[in-house]
Structure 1
Amino acid sequence: MSDAFRGVFHAAAACGHVQLLEWIHMKYPHADWAGVIDSAVKNRQFDAAVWIRAYHPESATHDTIAAAASSGVVALLKWLSEQYPSRAFCTSSRKAMKRGAASGSLEVVEFLVERTMETASVKWAPPKALVNAAKNGHLDVLQYLARRLPKKYLRGAVDAAVEHCQLAVLEWLDKRNRVRVSPSTLSRVAQNGHKEILKWLYERSPRYYKNCFGFGNLNLLRDATAHGRGELVQWMLDVGKDIKVCIEPAIDGTLIPVQSAVGDKVLLPEYGGSLIKLGSDEFHLFRDEDILGKLQ
Structure 2
Amino acid sequence: MTCEGKKSKLHQCCISVMVDVLCNAPLFELIQAFNEGTALKSWTAGEIAAELGYLYVLQHAPHVRFGGRTSEDVYPRAKAMDFAAKGGHIVVVDWMNSNPRYRSECTTNAIDWASSAGHLDIVQWLDANRSEGCTSAALHGAAVSGHVDLMSWLLDHRSDDVEFSMGTFYDAAEHGQLRVVQWFVSHGYYQRPDGLNAEYPLDGAAKNNHMATVEWLHAQGDDASRGAMDLAAENGHLAMVQWLHAHRREGCSIDAMNWAANCGHLDVIQWLHAHRTEGCTTNAVDFAAENGFLTTVQWLLHHRTEGCTTQAMDLAAKNNHMDVVQWLHHHGPVGCTTAAMDGAAKGGHVGMLQWLHTHRHEGCSTNAMDFAAKKGHLDVLEWLHAHVPAAGCTTDAMDFAAQYNRLEALQWLHQHRQEGCTADAMTFAAEYGHLRIVKWLHDHRPEGCTVDAMDWSAKNGHLDVVEWLHLNRTEGCSPDVVDTVLRAGQLPVLQWWYAHRPERSTSNAMAIAAENGHLDMVQWLHNVGETCTTKAMDLAAENGHLDVIEWLHVHRDEGCSREAMDLAAENGHVHVLQWLQDHRTEGCTREALELAIAEGQVKAARWLVTHQPSKASVAKCMAFAKMYGFEDLRDWCVKVKGQRKPLNSR
| Same fold by TM-score greater than 0.5 | yes
Counterpart residue number, 2:350 = 139
Distance 1:13 1:159, change over 3 A: same
CA contact (8 A) 1:190 1:224 kept: yes
Distance 1:164 1:94, change over 3 A: same
**2:345, 2:316 → 1: CA distance?**
13
Alignment of 1:38 onto 2:258: yes
Distance 1:167 1:9, change over 3 A: farther
Q: Secondary structure at the match of 1:223?
A: helix
Q: Which runs of 5+ in 2 are unaligned?
A: 1-195, 204-225, 455-465, 477-491, 494-650
Structure 1 stretch displaced more, 105-114 or 175-184? 175-184
Deviations along 1:76-116, whole A, 9 cap, x unmatched? 211111111x322xxx3312122221231111111111124
CA contact (8 A) 1:69 1:103 kept: no
Percent identity between matched residues is 22
1:165 to 376, 379, 393: 376
Alignment of 1:181 onto 2:390: no
Distance 1:29 1:139, change over 3 A: farther
**1:42, 1:149 → 2: CA distance?**
25
CA shift for structure 1 position 188: 2.5
CA contact (8 A) 1:127 1:154 kept: yes
Counterpart residue number, 1:195 = 407
Counterpart residue number, 1:82 = 302
Alignment of 1:226 onto 2:437: no
One-letter identity of the residue aligned with 1:221: M
Structure 1 stretch displaced more, 265-274 or 30-39? 265-274
- 1:101-120 equivalent positions in 2, closer than 5 A: 101-116=317-332
- 1:1-296 equivalent positions in 2, closer than 5 A: 4=199, 5=203, 6-84=226-304, 86-88=305-307, 92-116=308-332, 124-150=335-361, 153-178=364-389, 180-202=392-414, 204-205=415-416, 213-214=420-421, 218-237=423-442, 239-240=443-444, 266-267=450-451, 270=454, 271=466, 284-285=472-473
One-letter identity of the residue aligned with 1:111: W
CA contact (8 A) 2:366 2:394 kept: no
Distance 1:268 1:157, change over 3 A: closer
Counterpart residue number, 2:609 = none
**2:411, 2:369 → 1: CA distance?**
16
TM-score, reference length from structure 2? 0.34
Distance 1:10 1:189, change over 3 A: farther
**1:11, 1:231 → 2: CA distance?**
49
Q: Secondary structure at the match of 1:153?
A: coil
Structure 1 stretch displaced more, 190-199 or 143-152? 143-152
RMSD: 3.3
Aligned length: 246
CA contact (8 A) 1:41 1:71 kept: no
One-letter identity of the residue aligned with 1:167: L
**1:58, 1:268 → 2: CA distance?**
54
Distance 1:156 1:213, change over 3 A: closer
Deviations along 1:242-275, whole A, 9 cap, x unmatched? x6xxxxxxxxxxxxxxx5xx8x895477145678
Distance 1:126 1:268, change over 3 A: closer
Deviations along 1:209-251, whole A, 9 cap, x unmatched? 6xx634xx554211211233234224434x43xx6xxxxxxxx
Q: Secondary structure at the match of 2:282?
A: coil
Deviations along 1:37-64, whole A, 9 cap, x unmatched? 1111111222222222222242311211
Deviations along 1:120-178, whole A, 9 cap, x unmatched? xx5x2211121112112222222221123447535432222222322222222122144
Distance 1:28 1:166, change over 3 A: farther
One-letter identity of the residue aligned with 2:341: L
Distance 1:151 1:98, change over 3 A: closer
CA contact (8 A) 2:427 2:452 kept: yes
Distance 1:137 1:219, change over 3 A: closer
Q: Which runs of 5+ in 1 are unaligned?
A: 244-258, 277-283
Q: Secondary structure at the match of 1:147?
A: helix
Q: Secondary structure at the match of 1:58?
A: coil
**Bigger Rg, structure 1 or 2:** 2
Which structure shows the bigger proportion of residues in strand conformation? 1
